[in-house]
Amino acid sequence: MTMKTIMRNLVLPPKFYNSYWLNRLGIQPLRIILDRFFWYLRPMRVSPEFRSTLSALEQNGYVVIENFLPQEDFQRLREEFKASFNPDNADIRNRVSGKNLIEEIDVLESNQQSYALSRRLFLMSETIRKIVQWAAHKKIRLPMACIMQRLSIESYKDKKNVILHQSEDFDAETILHQDASLPIYKAWLYLDDVGTEDGAFVYAPKSNRLTFERLKYEYRRSCQLMKMQMGRTDELPKENLYLGRYVPSPADRKALGIEEKSMTGKANTLVIANTLGFHRRGNIEPGRIRSVLHLDFKRLQSGLNLIPFAGKIPHLEKLILQNRRPEKVLQY
C-alpha cells in the first residue's frame, strides 16, 4: 500500500478494501461492528426537544421536518436560489446522468457573498448540525459539502462544460443502492413542492439498522465487489447485477425487509437520511424541475475530522485528492 493510498484512506475510508483475502476473512463486517462499537463509546447528550427527532432518525434511517425555516427566511432563501440559476452564472456545473440534467452550484467553494443566505440558513444551520452530530456521535470539524441543485429532463446541447456522469444511457442514482457500509448522513431542503413525479428521494425505512442479516449481506457484497474489481464479473449472481451496478437481489430485499418509500413533501420540508440505508433518486417526469439544497456529511467518516484544527487547514483534502480521475467533459 502506497503512501498516497494511505492518505486517501485517511481522508475518507474506502467502501471496501482492495484485497480478495481480507474480504474473504470478513474485514467488512468487522469494520461495521467496530464502527458501531466506537459509536457507543462516544455518547453525546441530546437536548430534550430533539430526542424524538433523533429517535426517528436512528430507528427508521430518516426524518422529515416540515416548515423547517421561518417563512420569511425561506422566501428569501428561495429567491436567492432562483436568482443563482441564470445562464451567465459561471459557478453552475452541469452534469448529465442518463436522461437527467443536474445543474449544481457548490456553495462552499463559490463566491461567499453570492450565496450568503444558503450558507447562513442551511450550510451553517445549528439545527441540522446538532441533529447530525448527535446521530453520528461525532463533532463536525471539517467543512461539509453544500450544493444548490436543480434536477430535470432537459437537453444539455446548449449548456457549457457539461460533465458526463457515469453513463448517457441511464442515471445510476435511480438504482436502489447504499452509499457505503458505514453511516453517512445527508440532508435535503425542498425549495418547491416535491412529488413522485418530481424525482423525490426514495428510501427504504429501517434499512439502516445493523442486523445479523445485514452483516451477512455486507460480507457477501464485499467479496462480490472485489470480484468485480478483479474483472471476474461472470462469477457474480446475475440477480445482484443491474446495469453494471451491484444491487440487492429479490432474496436480499426479502431478508433485509426492504420496502421503498418516496419522500414527497411541501416546500420548506427538510429530509435527513442515513444513506447506509438503501435509497435512490426518484424518476422525474418530463417538464418537471426538482429544486433542493443538499448537504453531504460523508466527511464525518474522515480520519481528518478527528483533528480539532483540521477544518482550518486551507484546501487540505484537495491537496491529498488532487490526482483523482477526471470526469469526462463534453464540449459543444
Share the mean pLDDT of the chain: 86
Per-residue pLDDT, 205: 98
CATH number of 3-330: 2.60.120.620
Residues 258-285: tens digit of each pLDDT:
999 999 999 999 999 999 999 999 999 9
Q: Quick one: average pLDDT of 66-85? A: 96
Residue 75 — pLDDT band, cuts 50, 70, 90?
very high
Per-residue pLDDT, 291: 97
**Does 88 have pLDDT greater than 90?**
no
Q: For residues 145 and 184, what is the distance between their CA atoms, to the nearest angstrom?
A: 13
Q: Which of 38-52, 106-120, 316-330 has the highest mean pLDDT?
A: 38-52
Residue 324 — pLDDT band, cuts 50, 70, 90?
very low
Range list of β-strands (E), 217-288: 241-242, 245-246, 261-262, 270-274, 279-280
- Whose cell is 425505512? That residue is 205
**If residue 330 lies in a helix (H) or strand (E), which one and from where to where?**
strand 328-330
Q: How far is CA 119 from the centre of its chain?
A: 19
Q: Quick one: average pLDDT of 37-60? A: 92
Q: Domain coordinates of the chain in residue numbers?
A: 3-330
Q: Please give the torsion angle defined by the CA atoms of residues 192, 136, 4 and 310, in that order, rounded to the nearest 10 degrees.
A: 90
- Whose cell is 463533532? That residue is 139
Residues 141-163: tens digit of each pLDDT:
888 899 999 999 875 555 555 55
Count of Cβ atoms closer than 10 Å to residue 7 Cβ? 14
Q: 162-164 and 92-97 as β-strands: parallel, antiparallel, unpaired?
A: parallel
More confident residue, 267 or 321: 267
Q: Which amino acid is at 332?
A: Y
Residues 6+ apart with CB under 8 A from 27: 17, 19, 222
Per-residue pLDDT, 331: 38
Residue 244 — pLDDT band, cuts 50, 70, 90?
confident
For residues 186 and 136, the answer to whether their CB atoms sit within 8 Å is no
Q: Which of 76-90, 110-124, 242-256, 257-271 has the highest mean pLDDT?
A: 257-271
Cell of 129: 448540525
Side-chain-side CA neighbours of residue 291 (13 Å)? 15
Per-residue pLDDT, 290: 96
- Whose cell is 453552475? That residue is 92
Residue 129 — pLDDT band, cuts 50, 70, 90?
very high
Letter string b/e over residues 150-189, b meaning 16 or more CB atoms within 10 A of that residue's CB: bbbbbebeebeebbebbeeebbbbbebbbbbbbbbbbbbb
Nearest CA-CA partner of 292 in 176, 219, 191: 191
Residue 165 — pLDDT band, cuts 50, 70, 90?
low
Report CA-CA distances (Å) from 332 to 13, 15, 93, 163: 37, 35, 15, 12
Q: Above pLDDT 90, what percent of the chain? A: 59
